[in-house]
Structure formats: C-alpha cells, structure tokens
Amino acid sequence: MLKILKYSFYDLMRSRWSYVYFLFYLALGFVLLFLNNDLSKAVITLMNVIIVLVPLISTIFGVMYFYNSKEFTELLLAQPLKRTSIFLGQYFGVAGSLTMSLVLGLGLPFVLYGLFKSDAIWDFSLLLITGAFLTLIFTALAFNIAISNENKIKGFGYAVLLWLFLAVIYDGLFLLSLILLEEYPLDSFSLVATMLNPIDLSRTLILLKLDISALLGYTGAVFKSFFGTNLGLMISISMLLLWTILPIWRLAYKSKRKDF
C-alpha cells in the first residue's frame, strides 16, 4: 500500500496540479495578509475560503483523479496485489498531497508574517486541522462516488451535487426546519443537525473561536457550553474522524467486491 501511496503522491507532484493548488493558497495567504495586515481578521476570511473551497476542490479533484488513473488501476489489479491496498494507496496519495498543499500553502505566509508571535496561533491551527479533515472527508466521498459510477459524467454530476448539498442545500433545509419548528425547543436539534454535516461542524468549531460575542446570545450559550468545553471539542473531532473513516471503510469494502 505504501508503495502505491508513494507512487500516487509523486505522480501528483509531477502532474503540476498540486503545485497549482499550493500556489493558489500561497497567493491567497499573502494577498490576505498584505491587504489587512491583521492576523485574526485574515483568519476569518480564510474560514470562508476553507469552508467552501476546500470541499469543492477535494471533491472535483478526487473524482477527476480516480477516473483519470483508471487504466493504471486496471494494470495494478492484474498484479498480485491486495485490492484494498491499491485503492487506499491511491486515496491516501491524493488526500495527502492535497492536505500538504493546503497546510504548506496557507501556513508559509502566516508563519512569515509572524504567526508564532501572535495569539491567533490556536485559531489558525484549528483552521488548518479542520481544513485537513475536510480534504480527507471529501476526497474519500469523491472516491466513493467514482467507484460506484462507471459513467464519468454521472460521477462528476453526483460529486458536484454532493458538494452543493452539504455546502448550501443542507443549510437551507436546516434553516427551513428551524423556522417551521420555531415553537419547539430547538437547542439539541440544531446541535445534532450541526454534527451531521462536516462542513457545518467545521464552521461552528471555527466560529466559536471567532464570533463568540454574537453566538453567546440565545442559543449560542448552549453551543458554547457544548463546543467550548474539552468534551465538546473531543466529540466534534471524533465526529470528523468518523466522517473520514466511514467513507474510507466503504471504499475498501466496495473495492473488494467490485467487478472490473
């Protein structure tokens, strides 16, 4: 598996795409810091980017990579190799290189601008951790979609739809149900609904570090007492872990049974 991981990783390194991705984040980080020169403000803008762009890029890139390397996969399948190690190797290669581009691309400008001397370091590391998790989760979901759909167009369609659903539509439905059910106590409902969507979960985690004064009103108190504590943080991190492990497990399961 490690060999395939290494191969996929270097393949991506060579293919320029991870450089483009890396340079994009690098430029973004520098421009943000150049424009407002204030670490904690830049972190807020970055949050918007991470919540929206990271899942989108991971999804598209994951699906694209899977379909593109199909012939190579078929070649590997002919070798005496375990199927799970082929697919998991590819997955970790892609996810690993994307994560590295993200962390390095964003990390470098911030470190150069004096992150270690600033008190925004915890907010920033949380930002990077959630970004990394989102990459892992959405690449895994993309691989799942690709492995279940032979048709490329369909696969792409589903992948974009998945992103659209989790990033936008889910919140719309969430909002709608909150308004429709406004007569009922909604604290635990909204807590659960937040936990079920990795994008919402990441957003809430970061928000609680940033906009606490606003969130402390009304329901915010409930959220703060949940996510603000160590237990809440542990639960949300393990929720993100679960979100990562489940698709990977399904990928391994599917890859064993798929007829090529």
Partner 1 sequence: MNKLRLSLSVLIFLMGTALWAEIIEVCAACDVKSIKDGIVLASDHDTLLIKRGTYKEFNIVIDKPLTLLGEEFPVIDGEDKGEIITIISDNVTVDGLFIINVGTSYTKDFAAIRVVKSKNFLIQNVVLEKLFFGIYLEKSQDGRVFHNNIIGDAVEEFNSGNGIQLWYCRNIEIEQNIVQHVRDGIYLEFSDDVIIKNNTSSNNVRYGLHFMFSNNDIYEGNTFENNGAGVAVMFSKKIKMLNNSFKKNWGTASFGLLLKEINDAEISGNSFEENTIGMNIEGSNRITYANNEFIRNGWAIKVRGACYTNSFVNNNFLYNSFDISYNSKLNDNVFEKNYWSDYTGYDLDKDGIGDVPYRPVKLFSYIVNRTPETIVLLRSLFMDIIDFSEKVSPVFTPDNLLDAMPLMKKSE
Shortest spacing between CB 19 and partner 1, in angstroms = 27
**Residue in the block written with tokens 């049974």:** 257
- Residue 174 engages partner 1 in binding (rule: CB under 8 A): yes
Of 40 and 148, which CB lies nearer to partner 1 in the complex structure?
40
Query: For the chain, what percentages of helix, strand and coil (3-state, to nearest 5) are there?
Result: 85, 0, 15
Please name the amino acid found at residue 180.
Answer: L
- Residue 94 engages partner 1 in binding (rule: CB under 8 A): no
Residue 154 makes CB contacts below 8 A (sequence gap 6+) with none
Among 6, 81, 171, 235, binds partner 1 (CB under 8 A): 171
User: Among candidates 177, 153, 173, which has minimal Cα distance to 165?
Assistant: 173
Among 1, 77, 128, 186, binds partner 1 (CB under 8 A): 186
Residue 111 makes CB contacts below 8 A (sequence gap 6+) with none
Q: Which stretch binds partner 1 (CB under 8 A): 88-96, 127-135, 168-176, 250-258?
A: 168-176
Tokens describing residue 191: 């807590």
- Residue 209 engages partner 1 in binding (rule: CB under 8 A): no
- Residue 237 engages partner 1 in binding (rule: CB under 8 A): no
Of 182 and 259, which CB lies nearer to partner 1 in the complex structure?
182
H runs (alpha helix) in 165-260: 170-180, 187-195, 198-210, 212-215, 220-227, 230-257
Quote the DSSP letter at residue 16.
S
Quote the DSSP letter at residue 80.
S
13, 39, 103, 242 from 114: Cα distances, Å: 29, 9, 16, 34
Among 140, 215, 240, 251, binds partner 1 (CB under 8 A): 215
- Residue 1 engages partner 1 in binding (rule: CB under 8 A): no
Of 222 and 246, which CB lies nearer to partner 1 in the complex structure?
222
Of 85 and 219, which CB lies nearer to partner 1 in the complex structure?
219
Among 5, 28, 39, 51, binds partner 1 (CB under 8 A): 51
- Residue 203 engages partner 1 in binding (rule: CB under 8 A): yes
Shortest spacing between CB 216 and partner 1, in angstroms = 5
**Residue in the block written with tokens 């659903």:** 165
- The residue ranges that bind partner 1 (CB under 8 A) are 41, 47-48, 51-52, 167-169, 171-172, 174-175, 178-179, 182, 186-187, 190, 194, 200, 203-204, 207, 211-221, 223
